[in-house]
Copies of this chain bind each other. A is one copy, B any other.
Amino acid sequence: MLRTHTCGELSISDIDNEVRLCGWNQKSRDLGGMTFIDIRDRYGITQVVFNMDVDEGLCKKARKLGREYVICVEGKVIERSNKNKKLKTGDIEIIAKGLKILNESKTPPFTIEDNTDGGEDLRMQYRYLDLRRGPIKRNIELRHQVLQETRKYLDREGFLDIETPSLIKSTPEGARDFVVPSRMNPGEFYALPQSPQTFKQLLMVSGFDKYFQIVKCFRDEDLRADRQPEFTQIDCEMSFVEQADVLQTFEGLIKHLFAAVKNISLDEFKTICYDEAMQYYGTDKPDLRFGMPFKEMNELCQNNGFNVFDKAELVVGFNANGCGTYSRKNLDALTNFVIRPQIGAKGLVYVKCNEDGSYKSSVDKFFDQNALANWAKAMNAKEGDLLLILAGTKGQTRKALGELRLEIGNREGLRDNNKFAPLWITDFPLLDWDEEENRWNAMHHPFTSPKEEDIPLMDTDPGKVKANAYDMVINGVELGGGSIRIHKKTLQQKMFNCLGFTEEEAQSQFGFLLNAFEYGAPPHGGIAFGFDRITAMLGGKESIREFIAFPKNNAGRDVMLNTPSAISERQLKELGINLSC
A interface residues with partner B (beta carbon < 8 Å): 1-3, 22-24, 40-42, 68-70, 72, 102-106, 108, 126-129, 131-132, 137, 140-141, 143-144, 147-148, 151, 155, 160-170, 172, 176-192, 199, 202-203, 205-209, 216, 218, 220, 222-223, 229-230, 232, 239-242, 245, 487-488, 512, 515-523, 548-550, 552, 555-558, 560-568, 571-581
Contact = CB atoms under 8 A, between A and B. Distances in A.
Nearest to A570: B172
Contacts of A239: 22
Given A189-B567, A230-B167, A240-B3, A131 B206 contact: yes
Given A42-B209, A163-B216, A189-B567, 14 more contacts: A2-B242, A41-B209, A106-B519, A126-B519, A131-B206, A137-B207, A148-B155, A176-B183, A176-B574, A177-B571, A178-B180, A183-B220, A186-B579, A187-B579
Contact of A185 (B144, B557, B574): B557
A71 to B, nearest CB: 9
A407 to B, nearest CB: 32
Contacts of A126: 515, 519
A245 B209 contact: no
Contacts of A520: 24, 68-70, 103-105
- A interface SS class: loop
A221 to B, nearest CB: 9
Given A182-B556, A183-B220, A232-B163, A42 B103 contact: no
A4 B220 CA distance: 43
A137 to B, nearest CB: 7
Q: By CB atoms of chain B within 10 A, which of A144, A488, A564 has the most?
A: A564
A203 B130 CA distance: 11
Given A2-B240, A180-B180, A518 B169 contact: no
16 contacts: A2-B241, A22-B240, A102-B523, A128-B202, A143-B161, A143-B163, A144-B160, A148-B155, A166-B192, A167-B552, A169-B565, A172-B568, A179-B181, A179-B567, A182-B556, A572-B580
Contact of A132 (B206, B512, B576): B206
Nearest to A1: B245
Contacts of A241: 1-2
How many chain copies does the complex carry? Answer: 2
Given A3-B240, A209-B41, A576 B580 contact: yes
Contact of A487 (B103, B220, B515): B103
Contacts of A177: 571
Contacts of A69: 520
9 pairs of A and B residues whose beta carbons are closest in the complex: A105-B520, A131-B206, A576-B581, A169-B563, A188-B564, A182-B564, A68-B520, A186-B581, A2-B240
B512 A561 contact: yes
A492 to B, nearest CB: 12
Given A102-B523, A557-B185, A140 B160 contact: yes
Contacts of A188: 563-566
A550 B164 contact: yes
A165 B228 CA distance: 11
B161 A148 contact: yes
Nearest to A572: B580
A388 to B, nearest CB: 40
A352 to B, nearest CB: 49
A24 B242 CA distance: 18
B565 A184 contact: no
A183 B220 CA distance: 8
Given A223-B184, A564-B190, A565-B188, A163 B548 contact: yes
A571 B216 CA distance: 22
Contacts of A72: 240
A575 B572 CA distance: 14
Nearest to A220: B183
Given A140-B208, A189-B565, A163 B549 contact: yes
